[in-house]
Amino acid sequence: MALVSGISLDPEAAIGVTKRSPPKWVDGVDEIQYDVGRIKQKMKELASLHDKHLNRPTLDDSSEEEHAIEITTQEVTQLFHRCQRAVQ
């Protein structure tokens, strides 16, 4: 209870702090950080696919492995484009 009426006991009110929602760009930063994490994971997956493809015991054509490499490469590319659009 305040000794003088009309005085707030809220310490933030004394320094003029207003509670607002964060700026719109904060959501963009969160999305970009999430996508960068996904890019890192996909890059590890892509490196593993390349190693598997290059170090196979036979020289047989493996279109299944090549297809997986192409799909993962496209996913990484799409994630980079998504990050680029979020930055702009």
Q: Residue ranges of the domains in the chain? A: 63-88
Q: What is the DSSP string of 6-57?
A: T----HHHHTT----PPPHHHHHHHHHHHHHHHHHHHHHHHHHHHHHHHT-S
pLDDT number for residue 17:
61
Q: Enter the DSSP assignment of 59.
A: -
Side chain identity, residue 73: T
Tokens, residue 65: 């492995």
Q: Give CA separation, 41 vs 14, 26, 28, in Å.
A: 47, 23, 20
Q: What is the pLDDT along the chain (88 residues), one digit of tens a residue?
A: 455 555 556 665 556 566 788 887 888 899 999 999 999 999 999 999 999 988 887 777 778 899 999 999 999 999 999 999 998 8
